[in-house]
Amino acid sequence: MIKGIYALVCIAIGLSTATQAQTINKPRLDSLQNVLAANNKSMGSLAISQNGKVVY
C-alpha cells in the first residue's frame, strides 16, 4: 500500500515538473549551431515548436 502511494506521488511530481516550459534563448541556440557547424559536428536539423508553430 505504501509503495503504491509512493509511486503515485512520484508520478504526480514528475508530471508537474515536466509541464513547466522554458523560454527559448535564440542567440545561445544560434551560437551552439554555429560551433557545431564550424567543427563539422552537426548532422540534421533542429526545429522547436510551441503551440503548433515553429519558433526556432
6 located within any domain: no
Domain membership of residue 14 (yes or no) is: no
Structural domain total, the chain: 1
The model's pLDDT over 14-53, given as tens digits with 9 standing for 90+, comes to 666 555 567 888 999 899 889 988 988 888 888 888 888 9
Residue 29 lies in a domain: yes
| pLDDT score for 21 | 64
pLDDT at 25: 87
pLDDT of residue 20: 57
The residues pairing with 53 across neighbouring beta strands, listed in sequence order, are 50
Which pLDDT score is estimated for 27?
92
Residue 53 resides in a domain: yes
pTM exceeds 0.85 for this model: no
**What 3-state class would DSSP assign to 47?**
coil
Task: Please indicate whether residue 10 or residue 36 has the higher confidence score (pLDDT).
Answer: 36
Residues 32 and 25: their CA atoms lie apart, in Å, by 11
